Amino acid sequence: MSSSAQPATTPKPGKEKSGIGRVFSKVKTAWRSGSKRQSTAAAPPAAAPQSGVVAVPVAVQVTKADAVSKPSSSSHAATRLAEARAAYEGLAGVSKLSRLELFEERAKKLNERFGLEIQPMEWQKAIPSDTVLRMDKPIRMRIRRTCHRCNATFGAGKECPNCNHARCTKCTRYPPKRTEAEIIASRERRAAKIKANRENAPIEPDYGPEDKNFVLTRPSKTGGQDLVHKKPRQRVRRTCHECNTLFIAGTKVCERCSHVRCTDCPRDPPKKDKYPFGYPGDEFGPNSVPHYECEKCKTVYPQDAPNGTECRKCKTPKSKASPRARPRKVEPIPDPDVLQQIQAKLDNLKVT
């Protein structure tokens, strides 16, 4: 190039080209590499800036054309998938099946096997035009044969790979071949199982307040009485404190000594923290400590409280007319120190 164009295209040391200067530099490099292959009748170097301005859109057009001519990876994968699908559609025994029909078939099999009723709204989200390929094959059982001479397993052929013995009737077969009667009995058992699953379908139990009399049963495996599902409950045993005999469930009188169940009769497991005065339904025993309650609000007075002690709720004084507290569940009285700590924390959280 001429000396006049040299300062305009040569960058200064320490500075990076930007803007139109970078474009001119790229055009200059391309023009220099192309000028070596051109003939002597090529354009003069003075026309480089003009040819550079024209060559920029040409280079961009060529790059776009190359990008269009090369398909993307996603389109290439879609093309290969379409080619594979077309190849499978041409095979014998391959049929098209809609996804809705496939879901209907699966729902029918689940209903026959487990008694489940699947609503169409749960699987009708599939596109009706969407189809899948299915190859229908007969159901086959894997059968293995063993040579009766060397106990080697036969392959696909009828000759033993170990001793070259030809397969005969003495060679064992697994599973053994069934007779016609065994085949009929197996079909009957399968039909009975399908019928039982359909009639005794699983039920979702609902223990809401409106279904208190709901009973969930299941047929017994041994053919006896049906099994009844019940909530797990804790087994409580009461023992007579006079003769150490267990009380029968639902009775309050000992069948051995005719003793009426009282607060002295032990309970297993014990719950003295919730029932300090005795358990509900018990009579007062000779060793029980008396507790008295308020006539108005049924609040229990402290133990050994004298007459005139005020109730902690309604301030009613204790008197001789105050009744004795019957055995019942009592909520524990909160600790005043704990209440003060909680109140202090609440006061610190207040925002002014």
Does residue 109 fall inside a structural domain? yes
Higher pLDDT, 135 or 39: 135
Across 5-19, 42-56, 207-221, least confident range: 42-56
Q: Are residues 102 and 58 in the same domain?
A: no
Which pLDDT belongs to residue 259? 92
Does residue 79 fall inside a structural domain? no
Q: Are residues 125 and 156 in the same domain?
A: no
Q: Are residues 296 and 246 in the same domain?
A: no
Does residue 338 fall inside a structural domain? no
Give the chain's domain count. Answer: 5
| Site of tokens 């053919």 | 223
Does residue 229 fall inside a structural domain? no
Q: Are residues 126 and 166 in the same domain?
A: no
What is the DSSP track for 35-54? HTTS-TTSPPGGGHHHHHHH
Smallest CA-to-CA distance from 113 within 19, 219, 193 is with 193
Query: Does the bond joining 269 to the residue before it have cis omega, within 30 degrees of 0?
Result: yes
Which residues are paired to 260 by β-bridges?
A: 253
Does residue 181 fall inside a structural domain? yes
Which pLDDT belongs to residue 128? 60
Cα angle value 310/311/312 (rounded, 5°): 110
Q: Are residues 101 and 131 in the same domain?
A: yes
Does residue 224 fall inside a structural domain? no
Condensed to tens digits (0 to 9), the pLDDT of residues 119-135 reads 766 566 656 667 788 88
Which pLDDT belongs to residue 202? 63
Does residue 211 fall inside a structural domain? no
Q: Are residues 6 and 51 in the same domain?
A: yes
pLDDT band at 73 (very low <50, low <70, confident <90, very high): low
Last residue of one domain, picked from the residues 119, 138, 157? 138
Q: Are residues 149 and 194 in the same domain?
A: yes
Does residue 251 fall inside a structural domain? yes
Say if residue 239's pLDDT is above 90: yes
Domain region containing 300 = 289-331
Q: Are residues 243 and 298 in the same domain?
A: no
Q: Are residues 297 and 247 in the same domain?
A: no
